[in-house]
Structure 1
Amino acid sequence: MKDRAAEHSVEERYTQWKSLVPVLYDWLANHNLVWPSLSCRWGPKVEQATYKNRQRLYLSEQTDGTVPNTLVIANVEIVKTRVAAAEHIAQFNEESRSPFVKKSKTIIHPGEVNRIRELLQNNNIVATHTDSPDVLIWDVERQPTRQPVLGATASRPDLILTGHRDNAEFALATCPMEPFVLSGGKDKSVVLWSIHDHISSLAADQGAQKSPGSKGSAVNGKTADDSVVQPRGIFQGHEDTVEDVQFNPSSAQEFCSVGDDSCLILWDARSGSSPIAKVEKAHNADLHCVDWNPNDLNLILTGSADNTIRMYDRRSLASGGVGSPIHIFEGHTAAVLCVQWSPDKAYVFGSAAEDGMLNIWDHGKVGNAGTEKSDYPPGLFFRHAGHRDKVVDFHWNAADPWTIVSVSEDGEKTGGGGTLQIWRMIDLIYRPEEEVIAELDRFKSHLLSCSS
């Protein structure tokens, strides 16, 4: 039974947050989900218009078994900066579904969708993890939309990546440089695949899609044809479940992993299957997540069940296990589940946790606060408190860098299966102070005349 005081504080925090939404946000869309979603990812931009853009969004639906689990492809209308009306931002209903989010296709997934990762080399291909040893590859354009009714057979994956000897449920990444896929699992292994040749064959075979239920269809994620891909490499070094993996953003051969053994490991496929650097005690508890900075390749973030985020410089990591974090970020009161760098700001990142908070940090502000005492941890500059239970996933939008999608398991409080929120903080918060003052100064005479 949850502590009543804690429950009350969450509701109090949420009520206060709602009152501040028109002040803190440039845009916010709240979408009550039918079923909980464990993963959310932005896809490609579909259409560009004057006041808003349409963009693809990938979601999972984790059902209770009365209907099949699904991979959902939705189209989202993203309102451009300073376009949303204040009344729209202020008046949303936790139990409603946003008109900005429209489901366009449903793929019946063999098992729960634990992770979704998009392939940057082909906008139509995503990889998914479920409770099995395999990684499933889907061409979302090629896949037919399916009605998730009781007894429906699972959709057939376009490719199945094999190589794990036990379930690989969460650790999943795709490479920005090459069509490579990386996975980690309960077998303590990190597995690497190349699907380069298979992408071209998928495109050539566009018209040869078999109907669901025909020979070669997936049964528990398996097929009987040539769509199975063997690994390029299997990497051993962890002593417990691998919980997350990430590529070096500028290399298809370098990657990192974290696990329940509290280790952060760096790998280089060109150097064999052993670690090139291993931090034995990266945190004081299990590690849940890791991300590699796309704008400063030396910086790596880790998030843990010890409620902290740590930043490491890979240049200070050695194969002997030596490595101290540059900084420890302490602002969550529960396990950190997801960390991600901003796609365009070198020192900005987000962190989501079981405390229901999604924090935005700026490492560049650490140590620059002067002598004034602050009630907030160094580097923390925005707290998104729109979720009322653990935030299981979020994703920065590379096409609109300050827009974020986040999902939480707060279905009991919203009368639904959880909450999807798409939001963008007001730009006065993150822009340089002198730039903001200069802009406000342009309106000084108008503001003074209004107040007189």
Structure 2
Amino acid sequence: MAYKEAAFDDAEYKIWKKNTPFLYDLVMTHALEWPSLSTQWLPNVTRPEGKDFTSVQLPDDDAQFDASHYDSEKGEFGGFGSVSGKIEIEIKINHEGEVNRARYMPQNPCIIAAKTPSSDVLVFNYTKHPFKPDPSGECNPDLCLHGHQKEGYGLSWNPNLSGHLLSASDDHTICLWDISAVPKEGKVVDVKTVFTGHTAVGEDVSWHLLRESLFGSVADDQKLLIWVAHSNNTSKPSHSVDAHTAEVNCLSFNTYSEFILATGSADKTVALWDLRNLILKLHSFESRKDEIFQVQWSLHNEIILASSGTDQEQSPEDAEDGPPELLFIHGGHIAKISDFSWNPNEPWVICSVSEDNIMQNIYNDEDPEGSVDPEGQGS
């Protein structure tokens, strides 16, 4: 049975490869030495004068890149739209085990928080580390955040309050730290606040993008919880919602609307919510074939969001229209997609990583039929 599924995936992938030049303006596929669980575009961008390319910084999860040009006839990896397209490592930093999740601080992108296989969250200022790591493999973070009892994946910096970091964990808790208040000589940071509203593994947490004290969390208890960070009651959220019929794996607040958010679940759906009325979901996207592990709103268009999961596909959706709301399916991965990230500088550019060691950058600036233009107006 597994052999037949693998053969089917391979056949689908070959079809996708042959059609890649017609589907994208650019697609770059890179084989990593090890699988990556996390990826995120850094906002720093360099546009060399007189050149037709852009240099963008990417976090590297201690992985080596081995990219070659992709040709649809030869079946080789590489890129369309950029013959010499490649990704180069700018800096490598030793880390304590796998990097479950890595996210930069919006107010200072040089500062990156990383979730470890242990209970700690590590913080690195990559400008203070050498380009090549210590050959001994010793991990030397700038800060070590204590508070959890188990590992986890959820991680979110406050976009409005510098240094405020949230983390979700398998120990059912949400931890909040303020690294801006840390003494310069200290490396260990104790948790500021622990939120205990969930009754199962905490899967994800996210700050509201427009309200500095509001955040949401989701967990295996099938609930979406909305919290006020400065509340005196850290065991009772301001809102508790039975969001899905299975584990809730991810959530994302809309980039432009202060009321809209989305959640993704093991029940194979993405749910759309309005903070003004959480009794009923606004809409349920049911285009996925399997469990959903990541959902993110576009940074450039308020009605576009993308999701990914174990069905190996990424699906940007149009949240303005009813069914059929599916805009596009990216079928370039043949294993579970661990994480993906919208490019903050270029609309319709996404970077994704999967469990088969593959990193992909995809770009398509031509709107699908019935889609929306870059200004967010329906076509």
Is the contact between residue 43 and residue 344 of structure 2 (CA under 8 Å) also seen in structure 1? Answer: no
Q: Is the 8 A contact 2:296 2:307 kept in 1?
A: yes
Cα distance between partner residues in 2 of 1:255 and 1:288? 16
Which residue pairs with 1:191 in the alignment?
175
Cα distance change, pair 253–434 in 1 and its aligned pair in 2 (3 A): closer
Match for residue 361 of structure 2 among 406, 413, 422: 422
Aligned partners of 2:160 and 2:32: how far apart in 1? 34
Shift of 1:92: 7.8
**What is the TM-score normalised by the length of structure 2?**
0.89
- State the Cα distance separating 1:422 from its structure 2 match: 0.4
Within the alignment, does 1:379 sit opposite 2:379 as a pair? no
- Report deviation, 1:100: 1.4
Superposition deviation, residue 90 in structure 1: 4.9
Residue 94 (structure 1) shift = 5.1
AA partner of residue 233 (structure 1): T
**Residue in 2 aligned with 1:348?**
304
Task: Give % identity.
Answer: 32
Distance in structure 1 (CA, Å) of the matches to 2:114 and 2:178: 15
Q: Letter of the aligned partner of 2:220 in structure 1?
A: D
Distance 1:315 1:434, change over 3 A: closer
The corresponding residue for 1:40 is 39
Alignment-derived partner of residue 339 in structure 2: 393
Q: Which of structures 1 and 2 has the bigger CA Rg?
A: 1
Pick closer, same or farther for the CA change 1:47–1:421 going to 2, 3 Å. same
- The answer to whether the 8 A contact 2:70-2:76 is kept is no
Structure 1 residue aligned with 2:238, among 270, 276, 285? 276
SS at match of 1:278: strand
1:3 equivalent to 2:7? Answer no
SS in 2 for 1:20: helix
Distance 2:350 2:282 in 1: 26
Which sections of structure 1, spanning at least 5 residues, go unmatched? 61-69, 77-86, 203-224, 318-322, 368-377, 411-417, 436-452
Distance 1:433 1:249 in 2: 23
Equivalent positions of 1:45-84 (< 5 A) are 45-49=44-48, 50-60=51-61, 70=62
Task: Return the offset for 1:434.
Answer: 9.6
Out of 125, 139, 154, the position equivalent to 1:155 is: 139
Letter in 1 for 2:252: D
Residues 81-160 of structure 1: matches in 2 within 5 Å? 90=72, 93=75, 99-147=85-133, 152-160=136-144
Task: State the shift of 1:155 in Å.
Answer: 2.4
Post-superposition shift, 1:147? 4.6
The 3 A distance-change label for structure 1 pair 18 and 71 is closer
Aligned residue type for 1:399 = N
Are 1:307 and 2:268 counterparts?
A: yes
Indicate yes or no: 2:155 matched with 1:172. Answer: yes
1:432 positional shift: 6.1
Match of 1:359 in 2: 315
Q: Secondary structure at the match of 1:133?
A: coil
Q: 1:192, 1:147 → 2: CA distance?
A: 29
TM-score by length of 1: 0.75
Report the RMSD for the aligned CA atoms in angstroms: 2.5
Cα distance, 1:228–1:22 mapped onto 2, change above 3 Å: same
* Residue 355 (structure 2) pairs with residue 409 (structure 1): yes
How far off is 1:140 after superposition? 0.8
